[in-house]
Amino acid sequence: MTRGPTGKELEAVAPRRRTFLVRLCNLLYLLTTRWDFQLMLRARRILLAQMLPRKAANLSVYSDVVLADYRHLAVGDNVTINRGCHLSASGGLVIGNDVAIGHGTSILTTEHGYSDPAIPIAEQPAIFKPVTIGSNVWIGAQVCVLAGVSIADGTVIGAGSVVSRSVTDPDTIVAGVPARFIKERVDRPAIRQRKPKARKK
């Protein structure tokens, strides 16, 4: 089995130039986003290989997925993006290998400035903050990942969560609004104290 790219390799991927071919592929991608039968899934995979900065092996993107500013989106191998997701990559978005993103999830890399009370918030400049998602991550349905967040390898994020702070410890489960640590995802017998079994009399 060939390994996918490391996080550092993905972060080093340069944005795709907006050539005529890339623009054409983007237009065709938009025309295929309503359907999920195998021909459309295959067509999207081929088009995204031309649109994204890096060709990702075994990338599955389902219907109604919005990829805003896809030129700044670096994706690893074996990634699934389910129906109705919105990925904003303007500030830089890196997704590692073996990542599953549940339907209706939003990943944001920009936010409105709001510090000047004399200017309407909608007219204040956007703030760009990159998001990095590690490898072997499962993001549940209807999750919102806010700008500037990093998610460690092996993280599971519960459905409906809002991730406003980075998840720095690998192999953990987080959930809630805002998302908080729930428990470790894997058994760690070296650090976990097991209760002795009661002996039968």
CA distance 109 to 154: 21
- Whether omega for the bond prior to residue 178 falls within 30 degrees of 0, making it cis, is yes
86 counts as catalytic: no
**Of 126, 171, 173, whose CA–CA distance to 148 is shortest?**
126
Contact 67, 81 (CB under 8 A): no
φ, ψ dihedrals at 111, nearest 5°: -150, 160
CA distance 201 to 96: 53
User: 72, 86, 103, 112: which is the annotated catalytic residue?
Assistant: 112
CA distance 149 to 163: 8
Q: Which two tokens stand for residue 51?
A: 């649109």
Catalytic residues: 112
